[in-house]
Each structure stands twice: as C-alpha cells, then as structure tokens.
Amino acid sequence: MGKKKIVVLTGAGISAESGLKTFRDSDGLWEGYEVTEVATPRAWRRDPKLVLDFYNMRRRDVLTAEPNAAHLGLADLEKDFDVQIITQNIDDLHERGGSTKVLHLHGEIFKMRSERNERLVYDIREDILLGHTAEDGSQLRPAIVWFEEPVPMIAEAVPLVQAADIFVVVGTSLVVYPAAGLVELARPGIPKFIVDKKIPYTSGLPEIVAIEQPASIGVKELQKRLTELLD
C-alpha cells in the first residue's frame, strides 16, 4: 500500500513566524500600504514604480528570511506521507524547508512576467525596474496574482484536494477566495485539521480538528496526531 496523501493549504500565518509581514495584520496594512495601492491591476496602471518598489522590498525580505519549524515540520511529514503543499504565499520557504511538492496559488516573488503575456515568465533574484522588458517588449512585472485578478492555479489545486486522504490548513484565515473554498472540496469523512493561532469560523465544517496555536507549535502537535493515525 502506498503512502497516504496529505494535502496542506498554507497561508500567511506560516511565513509570519519567519518575519514576513502580511496584509492581514491587525491594521490591515502591509508595511504601511493599503492593498489597493500596491497589489491590484489599478495600482499598476496608476503607479508601476511604486508597485515595483514594493515587491522589490518583499523580494529582499524573503531573501533574508529563513524557514521556521512549521515549514521544516511539514517537510518532515514526507517520510511517512505523500505530501502536497498548496500555498497562498509567494515566498520560497516551503521549498527551502525541504518540501518537494509545492503549488503556489498566488504566484512567486522570485519570478517576473511580461505585463501583456502571463506565459512569458522569468526567474528574478534582484530588483525589477521600470524599463526592464520581456522579449515581447512589454514592461516586466512581478509574477504575482494581484487582488482583482483571476487565480489560474486554482484549477490545478482542485483535483489535488479532491484526491487527499488527509486535508490540513496551516496559518490561513480562510477569507481569501478562491483559495478558502478549497476546504469545502476535501472529501467528507477524511481527517481534516486546521492549525492557526486564531481559528476562523468553521462551523460549516464539523469534521475539522482545530489546533489553535501559532504554526510552529501547531505543526508539532499536528505531527503527533498524524503519527497516531498511522498506528
């Protein structure tokens, strides 16, 4: 018999413990910016330099951040399970933490794309500047899914969630759609866990086991509970 499939949906709460800020902090700002100023197509049309500067800062933050115990703990599950990470995060901390199967729903900070053609994607570790162009001659922008843009990777995520033997949510408030809707696609009757320091309202999902802890502590507890499932 093969390993059981675990699908883990992760959000900003797991990266927060590595020092990366989130839009969902108490003031609803990210480094003092409103979402609409820096993370929408309108913002890009209005002030592309501001948007580039903002994401250049994010990229530098990620370069200096390190995976934390939660990232390492999820990677460690691969010893006993077939683990698929589906993350809303744009950082590469899951990969650096050792996870081998990571799907980024909202894009990646170390990728950039043509503003006209989303299929022209390139790796980037430095800053993107105004005047940096793709091979089609158009300005390069972060390969990030902004608010008010479709989330193309959701189509790949859906069958992965539907095939899960165990479904886990770590560090997400389950308010950003369409990602939040994935929870409802997990098959009835399979073990489901949510790890977050503040568990959102999930009474519509009675099967979920809540572990109300920060991600690093909660993933340790999750590992213990998953080991019990193997016994």
pLDDT tens-digit series, residues 124-167:
999 999 999 999 999 999 999 998 999 999 999 999 999 999 99
pLDDT on residue 32: 73
- Where in the sequence of the chain do the CATH 3.40.50.1220 domains occur? 1-20+68-106+152-231
Yes or no: say if 97 and 91 are a contact pair by the CB < 8 Å rule: no
State both tokens at 198: 């503040």
Question: Catalytic residue numbers?
Answer: 106
Taking 70 as the pLDDT cut, the residues of the chain under it are 1, 22-31, 173-179, 200-206
Residue 197 in tokens: 């320091």
150 cis-preceded (ω within 30 degrees of 0): no
pLDDT value, residue 203: 46
- CA 151 to CA 155: how far, in whole Å? 8
Query: What's the confidence (pLDDT) of residue 29?
Result: 56
- In the chain, where does the domain assigned CATH 3.30.1600.10 lie? 22-64+109-144
- Give domain 1-20+68-106+152-231's CATH number out of 3.40.630.40, 3.50.50.60, 3.20.190.10, 3.40.50.1220: 3.40.50.1220
Structural fold of domain 22-64+109-144: SIR2/SIRT2 'Small Domain' (3.30.1600)
**Helices 69-76 + 215-230 axis angle, to 10:** 20
SS3 (DSSP) at 86:
strand
